[in-house]
Amino acid sequence: MFAVAAQTLAITAPVFAMLFLGVALKRLRWIDTPFIDTASSLVFRGTMPTLLFLGVVKADLDTALQPQLLTYFFLATVASFFVAWAWAIWRVPLADRGIYTQGAFRGNNGIIGLALATSMYGDYGLAVGSLLAALVILCYNVLSAVVLAIYTPCVKPGVKPIARSIVKNPLIIGVLLAVPFAYWQIPLPQWLLTSAQYFAQMTLPLALICIGGTLSLASLRRSSGVAIGSSLMKMVWLPLLATLGAWLFGFRGADLAILFIYFACPTAASSFVMARAIGANHELAAAIIVITTLIAVVCINAGLLLLQWGGWI
């Protein structure tokens, strides 16, 4: 289990390095608020949709197509969303409910989850993890768009404005465009895929630098109560409930371990990008990302150790 802890730390350490780089660059005045606004917009409108498109296109459908596993993961993700939202309605101030809910259910499956699944289970982990990530990307973005639209002043209330915000969401468009290419295995020119990969590779470092540039002690203090509550929901309570449900449904071995890893991933950097793009409380979103990434090493390894001790993985 020490090897898993080292792997988790090796994956999360570069995330923190880029966050702190963003803090340093802002302090040095190499980047400023207009740069962060422009870079966040580029990530939201361009690089991240491209990254999601490539992730779906490259998913190995033949190896990883397991209807029971995919169905449970989808239903558990939707249930987690509604649990987090219900708790937010009860305990979180109105203006922060959308950010709280998104931070509590939206995991970094495409980066941290996929890397851990692959390192633990090789080609099988890569195939299953890729398909799970591809499936949940659309779910994450639709549900996040809905809850953020409801609690964001710049989005008018009502079914039509919310539906419009979903249809126009670049992240959702990127996934939907990729589906026919993945399903019918439509080949794309190699030069186009390589160029798209270059463009998509900017996503995570640029998003993390923007998050770091937004962070400050004052913003962390202002967001601390809600951010800690959302982080505990994301890293402790929802993974516990979802993994228990998976165990009750009979999942064991690699499938149960991969499900747990995906449920216990820290909050995705895309939650900050989306929050900033629509004028929501992006400082709270940044704080949740930092806190969940910080405690991911402990929570993920504790969960895997418990599952291994029970003889279930």
Q: Where are the domains of the chain?
A: 2-309
Please tell me the predicted confidence (pLDDT) of residue 116.
85
Three-class DSSP labels, 246-299: HHHCCCCHHHHHHHHHHHCCCECCHHHHHHHHCCCCHHHHHHHHHHHHHHHHHH
Please tell me the predicted confidence (pLDDT) of residue 189.
95
Q: Which two tokens stand for residue 102?
A: 């998104």
* Three-state DSSP state, 168: coil
Q: What is the mean pLDDT of residues 56-64?
A: 71
Amino acid at the residue 18:
M
Confidence band of 249 (pLDDT split at 50, 70, 90): very high
Q: What is the DSSP letter of 107?
A: B
Task: Give residues with Cβ within 8 angstroms of 92, minimum separation 6.
Answer: 100, 226, 229
Confidence band of 26 (pLDDT split at 50, 70, 90): very high
Please tell me the predicted confidence (pLDDT) of residue 131.
79
What is the CATH architecture of 2-309? Up-down Bundle (1.20)
Q: Which two tokens stand for residue 143?
A: 């549900």
pLDDT digits (tens, 9 = 90+) for 4-21: 667 777 777 888 888 889
Q: What is the DSSP letter of 267?
A: B
Of 197, 199, 51, nearest to 133 by C-alpha is 51
Cβ–Cβ under 8 Å, residues 39 and 204: no
Q: What is the mean pLDDT of residues 214-240?
A: 87
Please tell me the predicted confidence (pLDDT) of residue 101.
97
CA dihedral (147, 78, 229, 19) in degrees, to 10, reads: -80
Rounded-to-integer distance, Cα 222 and Cα 224, Å: 6
Please tell me the predicted confidence (pLDDT) of residue 38.
93
Please tell me the predicted confidence (pLDDT) of residue 18.
87
CA dihedral (308, 257, 12, 75) in degrees, to 10, reads: -140
Of 72, 67, 130, 65, nearest to 246 by C-alpha is 72
- Angle 252-126-235 from CA coordinates, rounded to 5°: 60
Please tell me the predicted confidence (pLDDT) of residue 246.
97
Please tell me the predicted confidence (pLDDT) of residue 3.
67
Task: Give residues with Cβ within 8 angstroms of 101, minimum separation 6.
Answer: 81, 84, 85, 88, 147, 230
Q: Of 11-15, 33-37, 266-270, 271-275, which gets the smallest average pLDDT?
A: 11-15
Please tell me the predicted confidence (pLDDT) of residue 149.
87
Max alpha carbon distance in the chain (Å)?
Answer: 54
Share of the chain above pLDDT 70, in %: 94
Of 285, 276, 44, 85, nearest to 168 by C-alpha is 44
pLDDT digits (tens, 9 = 90+) for 129-178: 877 887 788 889 889 989 998 988 665 556 777 777 778 888 888 888 98
Q: What is the mean pLDDT of residues 287-296?
A: 90
Of 130, 83, 85, nearest to 110 by C-alpha is 130
Please tell me the predicted confidence (pLDDT) of residue 259.
96
Residue 306, pLDDT > 60, answer yes
Please tell me the predicted confidence (pLDDT) of residue 141.
86
Residue 1, pLDDT > 60, answer no
